[in-house]
Amino acid sequence: MHRLIISTGGGGVDQPISWKYMQKGISVFLDVPLEVLAQRITDVGTESHPLLHHGSVW
């Protein structure tokens, strides 16, 4: 048995295959207020966030 902790980020749940694998383990959702998320993105810029930098993967 492999014991792993995987941090997916926001884009990790965009793909159906990701959901398939997440259902096999324990998933934890960290709820952060929108204002905090907006400030974090402002602080680091959109280049480090692929979905914001390049648009939606869909």
Report pLDDT digits (tens) over 1-58. 678 888 887 677 778 888 888 888 888 888 899 899 888 878 877 676 666 665 554 4
Distances (CA, A) of 26 to 4, 11, 17, 58: 10, 18, 16, 26
Give the C-alpha separation, 9 to 30, whole Å. Answer: 10
Element (H, E) at 22: helix 16-22
pTM for this prediction: 0.46
Q: Report pLDDT for 33.
A: 94
Which pLDDT value is given to residue 52?
66
User: Residue 12, Cα to own-chain centre: how many angstroms?
Assistant: 5
Structure tokens at 10: 């926001």
- The alpha carbon dihedral of 55, 20, 24, 21 has a sign of negative
pLDDT of residue 58: 47
